[in-house]
Structure 1
Amino acid sequence: MSPIGGTVNLGVTVIRSRHSVRKYKDSPVEEKIIKDALDCARLAPTAKNEQPWLFGTVRKRETLKAIADLTDNARFIADAPVCFAVFGKRAEKYYLEDCCAATMQLILALQAWGVASCWVAGDKKDYVEDVRTLLNVPEDYTLVSLVPAGYPEEILIAKKKTLDEVTFFERYEEEE
């Protein structure tokens, strides 16, 4: 049973089981899983169906290390079997929202296959242009997110706020 009644479905189980993972086993992620995750990402909702994204997949160790070295808090990318890079077309008004939706669908598709990941910020970071240049992505795109992924070696579960702490119904009212 679901905590709010009814039967728990696979989608809910995938969402609830997802956690950021930064340590991966030294095992490659299968091509069919990578393609399926990318396919799920491209099917994300998008404003006016613009689909302003470009998805990169990096598996070469030297490129993974180069990306990791450019980041400020994601050195673990160097040890991931694969890293996805989500880029958005700068000229599109809602590229950030659209590419964030695509990033989440990518992450959930990986989770459904038992592949762990960690959303690493791109947008607003100092390394955005350096990663774009490293991966030879056209200038009209900007980095929105990096998603290193692999089979989890270690899972550390962060405490989350309760449902009551983060929700309101109809209108928000301060408690006295």
Structure 2
Amino acid sequence: MDAYEALLARRSIRRFTADDVSEEHERLLVEAAFAAPSSMNARPWHFVVVRDEARRARLADLHRWSGLLRRSPLVVAVLGRADAVAWVEDCAAATENLLTAATALGLGACWVGIFENGPAPHADEVACLDVLGATPERWRALCLIGVGHPAEQKPPRSQFQPTKLSFELVGRHRRPAAG
């Protein structure tokens, strides 16, 4: 599968088989995340790979959307340095790279958001950092990514919306005449 196909085929997969994710696939996923663009090449991210069942269960109990982590054989936490100016943007780019790489490798993955916009971490984020052995003074938690072999298949779909594309000015949905 080429990169463009993987981008369009990527879907959020929330159900996984019991099959383990190989260490080779784990390495490729994280390597793809590290290849993301970063503002001023700050690279403020840190990835925590979690395979331990008890730790995954603690992460799964953080809030109502994180339950799928209990059933995913691999969880990747995406953390950003709290003092970095563009940590959210940089970590989001790394997360998308990891999600797309999972699709290209035939794996399923789902992004579970932890971060809520604000100057200080909220209770769920602080709890997440605690489970991972990180401190909120140094780190912020963007998301947790559940990864595994998909137990569900979702077909690729186009999400292109021409009404959300403008040319030269907002609301101009046709290309201006060449001239």
- Which TM-score band (shorter chain)? 0.7 to 0.9
One-letter amino acid of the structure 2 residue matched with residue 96 of structure 1: V
SS at match of 1:19: coil
Match of 2:88 among 88, 93, 96: 96
Please list the CA deviations of residues 90-130 of structure 1 after superposition, one character each: whole Å capped at 9, or x if unmatched. 11110000000011111111111111101111211641110
Deviation at 1:145, TM superposition (A): 1.0
Change in CA separation of 1:10 and 1:159 when aligned onto 2, cut-off 3 Å: closer
Match of 1:45 among 12, 37, 42: 37
Deviation at 1:162, TM superposition (A): 3.7
Residues 16-165 of structure 1: pairs in structure 2 closer than 5 A: 16-124=8-116, 126-139=123-136, 140-156=138-154, 161-165=159-163
CA–CA distance in structure 2, aligned partners of residues 135 and 73 of structure 1: 18
8 Å CA contact 1:19, 1:155 repeated in 2: no
SS at match of 1:152: coil
Deviation at 1:167, TM superposition (A): 1.2
- 2:177: which partner in 1? none
Does residue 167 of the first structure (1) align with residue 159 of the second (2)?
no
- 1:14: which partner in 2? 6
CA–CA distance in structure 1, aligned partners of residues 156 and 27 of structure 2: 29
Indicate the RMSD between aligned Cα atoms, in angstroms. 1.9
Change in CA separation of 1:89 and 1:34 when aligned onto 2, cut-off 3 Å: same
8 Å CA contact 2:79, 2:139 repeated in 1: yes
- TM-score, length of structure 1 as denominator length: 0.88
Change in CA separation of 1:159 and 1:110 when aligned onto 2, cut-off 3 Å: closer
Deviation at 1:168, TM superposition (A): 1.3
Identity %: 25
Deviation at 1:156, TM superposition (A): 4.6
SS at match of 2:32: helix
Please list the CA deviations of residues 11-51 of structure 1 after superposition, one character each: whole Å capped at 9, or x if unmatched. 11111111001000100000001011111111211111111
Please list the CA deviations of residues 64-99 of structure 1 after superposition, one character each: whole Å capped at 9, or x if unmatched. 111001122121110101010000001111000000
CA–CA distance in structure 1, aligned partners of residues 55 and 171 of structure 2: 50
Number of matched pairs: 167
CA–CA distance in structure 2, aligned partners of residues 166 and 155 of structure 1: 28
CA–CA distance in structure 1, aligned partners of residues 110 and 123 of structure 2: 19
8 Å CA contact 2:9, 2:156 repeated in 1: no
CA–CA distance in structure 2, aligned partners of residues 162 and 86 of structure 1: 28
- TM-score, length of structure 2 as denominator length: 0.86
CA–CA distance in structure 1, aligned partners of residues 103 and 150 of structure 2: 11
Give the unaligned 5+ runs of structure 1: 1-8
Deviation at 1:152, TM superposition (A): 0.6
Change in CA separation of 1:67 and 1:13 when aligned onto 2, cut-off 3 Å: same
CA–CA distance in structure 2, aligned partners of residues 160 and 128 of structure 1: 33
Give the unaligned 5+ runs of structure 2: 117-121, 174-179
